[in-house]
Amino acid sequence: MHTDVNALFDALWQDYIEMTPSAAKVQQLLGKGEAIINDHVAFRTFNIAKVNLDVLAKHLLELGYVVCGDYAFEKKKLKAKHFEHPDSTQPKVFISELLVEEFSQEVQDIIHGLVEQVDEAATTAENFLYSGTHWKVDSATYARLLEESEYAAWVSAFGYRANHFTVSINHLPDYETIVEVNQALKDNGFTLNSVGGEVKGSPEVLLEQSSTMADKLNVEFADKTVEIPSCFYEFALRYPKADGELYTGFVAASADKIFESTNVNS
């Protein structure tokens, strides 16, 4: 496991921009070449013991992160937790896991078949959080997972890596509102996730979020190469709590819609 937070996030970012070429362009557009502060990074997994949320979280706890919130998404059959570092300029981390036992027997069998192929030693290796898939999956299996869960299909194709990075709008010198950020993105040809409206959340819940729709990438399945949605970029504006400190949590109703940024049919 990594012992240096910056080394972990540098490696995650390098992998992420390979999966998400548009992210490098967005960073150039919003940061004008200056460094961007990331609000958070997100990971996805299955709730099977060998690879569950806690297995991913161990890599963060080792770096001094602490768990600060948990969330449930009943319809999507997911649970999540978020983690914060004592140094508040380090990105927060959002990790979710799919409740595999709530799916059809066929989908459960497929997912267990993938996880069985993971070498347990790989899950504590330094690179695990950006190691991608540890299994073979064919395009028909991916399509079968898609019928029951966009999330399950995404994890089967991309595995362990940053699902998204998130620009902290609070730290962007040239933008005050999330609407201005969204407008700049649209003016430059980026497609936003409009599920439930382009802006998720409000000043009242102390967090506003938006995201691009995931890039499309050629993925080599066991049988053939297919172009599918990879990773997306998110934008977050946080508001102060009564004590004057910025809210650091997540908002389940908004997160529920952010998950849809990797949807295949939208």
30's tokens: 């919003």
Cβ 150 to Ni ion, closest distance in Å?
A: 16
Closest separation in Å from C-beta 83 to ligand OOG: 13
Structure tokens at 130: 């950006």
- Region binding ligand OOG by CB under 6 A among candidate stretches 101-109, 141-149, 180-188, 253-261: 253-261
Q: Measuring CA to CA, which residue among 9, 14, 15 is closest to residue 159? A: 15
Question: What gap in Å lies between CA 164 and CA 149, rounded to an integer?
Answer: 18
Report the distance separating Cα 23 and Cα 125, nearest Å: 27
Distance of CA 21 to the CA centre of its chain: 16
Q: Which x/- pattern over 43-62 shows residues binding ligand OOG (rule: CB under 6 A)?
A: -x------------------
Using CB under 5 A as the binding rule, whether residue 207 contacts Ni ion is answered as no
Distance in Å, CB of 96 to Ni ion, minimum: 10
Q: Per CB under 6 A, does 259 bind ligand OOG? A: yes
| Residue 233 makes contact with ligand OOG by CB under 6 A | no
Closest CA to 209 of 132, 147, 261: 261
Q: Is residue 42 near Ni ion by the rule CB under 5 A?
A: yes
Q: Does 111 bind Ni ion (CB under 5 A)?
A: no
As a whole number of angstroms, the distance between CA 129 and CA 57 comes to 10
Select from ligand OOG, Ni ion, none the partner in contact with residue 169, using the beta carbon and a kind-dependent cut-off of 5 to 8 Å. none
Q: Using the rule CB under 5 A, is 234 a contact of Ni ion? A: yes
DSSP structure class, residue 160: B
Tokens (6 digits) for 149: 């869960």
**C-alpha span between 229 and 215 (Å, rounded):** 6
Residue with smaller CB distance to Ni ion, 46 or 235? 235
By the rule CB under 6 A, 42 interacts with ligand OOG: yes
What minimum distance in Å lies between the beta carbon of 40 and Ni ion? 6
**32 vs 216, which CB is nearer to ligand OOG?**
216
Window 208-227: residues binding ligand OOG (CB under 6 A): 209
Which range touches ligand OOG (CB under 6 A), out of 23-31, 181-189, 214-222, 255-263? 255-263
Distance of alpha carbon 71 from alpha carbon 196, whole angstroms: 19
235: β partners: 167, 210
Tell me the sheet residues that pair with 211. Answer: 234
Helices (H) and strands (E) in the chain, counts: 8, 10
Binding site for Ni ion (CB under 5 A): 42, 234
Binding site for ligand OOG (CB under 6 A): 42, 44, 94, 96, 163, 209, 234, 250, 254-255, 258-259
